[in-house]
Amino acid sequence: MAERITVGSIDYSLYLVTGRDLLPVGKDYLETLEQSLQGGVTVVQIREKNADTAEFLKIALESQTICRRYKVPILINDRIDIALAIHADGVHLGQTDMPVSMARSLLPKGSIIGVSCNTKEHIQTAVEDGADYVGIGAVWGTLTKALTSPIIGVRGVGEMLKSLDGTGVRAVAIGGIKSTNALRTLHGTISTTGHALDGIAVVSDIMNSADPLASARSLSSTIRAFKSYS
Ligand code: TZP
Ligand code: MG
């Protein structure tokens, strides 16, 4: 079993959430994943909403083999059992998934735990519960997920980042982020409130791309440019 990657070394700059259902016809999932890593994806979350346990395990293991080659951490959406089974680097939990403290008690020391947040209260709870990072969204409109809460916008995301000040909890924004609005997302949050995101998370801009390598490269260079002047 490959070495796990520790919390301190995580680079949240370009966070890919997988969505196999979004692959263009004829595109292979593992090739897309590999190309996204070549293009600069820095962390991968395996999100499988329709797979049974056996299929989820297979996808997670195959994905992990590739991520390890690029020394990129792999997180599992929701399923603590799958994360444990494959020795993943951590998990990503939604508001209706297992609470952070329970997940922490089950997972090995040093596991990364992230939480989806769309209100300041969610952020507060995530901080109190000891989450490592939060995924704030949806920042823009998206067709990838049926949203159950209002779109937050860059100012809203910036406001939420305020609650993370001094906590060491990292943050990515998610929802409708494309190479065309990545800079607006990063710049908009810092310019409205002075608080910066650690990265951006995308599903369709990479998974639904005819050229995932180019899409990831474009997002990655935008983030690097932003980080170099902010
Ligand atoms: N959580 C909030 S919005 C979203 C998730 C998983 C979907 C984001 O997908 P896309 O395609 O990057 O808009
Ligand atoms: Mg969930």
Task: Please report the ipTM that was assigned to this predicted complex.
Answer: 0.98
From ligand 1's centre to the CA of 1, what distance in Å?
31
Output the pLDDT for position 93: 98
**Dihedral angle computed from the Cα positions of residues 222, 89, 62 and 59, in that order, rounded to the nearest 10 degrees:** -90
Which residue of 174, 178, 181 sits with most ligand 1 atoms within 8 Å of its CB, as the best mutation to test the pocket?
Answer: 174
Report the distance separating Cα 82 and Cα 86, nearest Å.
6
Token couple for 121: 């209260």
The tokens 């209706």 sit on which residue? 96
Give me the residues of the chain with pLDDT under 50, please. 7
From ligand 2's centre to the CA of 95, what distance in Å?
7
**Which segments of 148-181 does DSSP mark as H helices, in order?**
153-162
Output the pLDDT for position 45: 98
- Residue 209's closest CA among 200, 218, 221? 218
Output the pLDDT for position 192: 83
User: Is ligand 1 within 6 A of the CB of residue 204?
Assistant: yes
Residue nearest atom 4 in ligand 1 by C-alpha distance: 175
From ligand 2's centre to the CA of 96, what distance in Å?
6
Beta strands in the chain (DSSP E): 14-17, 43-46, 74-77, 90-93, 112-117, 133-137, 170-174, 199-202
Instruction: Let me know if 165 is exposed, middle or buried by CB neighbors in 10 A (0-12, 13-18, 19+).
Output: exposed
User: Is ligand 1 within 6 A of the CB of residue 142?
Assistant: yes
